[in-house]
Structure 1
Amino acid sequence: MADLRDVNLNRLVVFAAVVEAGSLSAAAERLGLAKTMVSAHIQRLEAEVGVTLIVRTTRRSSLTEAGRTLYEASRECVRTATDALESISASSGRLRGVVRVASPVDYGELVVAPALAALRRAHPELGVELICGEGYVDLVAERIDVAVRLGNLKDSSYRSARLGQYMRWLVASPAFLDGRQAPRSPSELGEWPFVGLSTLAHPDTLSLRHEDGRRETVRCRRAFIANTASAGRAATLAGAGYGLMTDFSIGEDLAAGRLVRLLPQWAAEPAAIQAVFPSSRQPSAKVAAVIDALRTYLARADQARVSARR
Structure 2
Amino acid sequence: MIGLVYLPLVLPLLLVPAARRATAARRPEAAARALTAAALLAAACSSACLGMLAATLLDDLPALERHEDRAAVLGRVLPEPVPGWLALAAVLLLAWFAVRLAREAWRRDRAAAVLHGAGRPRAGLLVAAWAQARAVAVPPHRGRDGHILVTTGLLELLDAQEQAVVYAHEQAHLRRGHHRVAALAAAAAAINPLLRPVPAAVDVLIERSADEDAARDVGDRILVAHTIGKVALGDETAARDDGGLGFTGSATIRRVTALLRPPSGRVLPLLALAAAGLAVAATGLALVEFVELARAWMPPH
Same fold (TM over 0.5): no
- Compare relative contact order (CA 8 Å, sep 6+) and give the higher one, 1 or 2: 2
* Structure-2-length-normalised TM-score: 0.19
* Structure-1-length-normalised TM-score: 0.18
Higher percent of residues as helix = 2
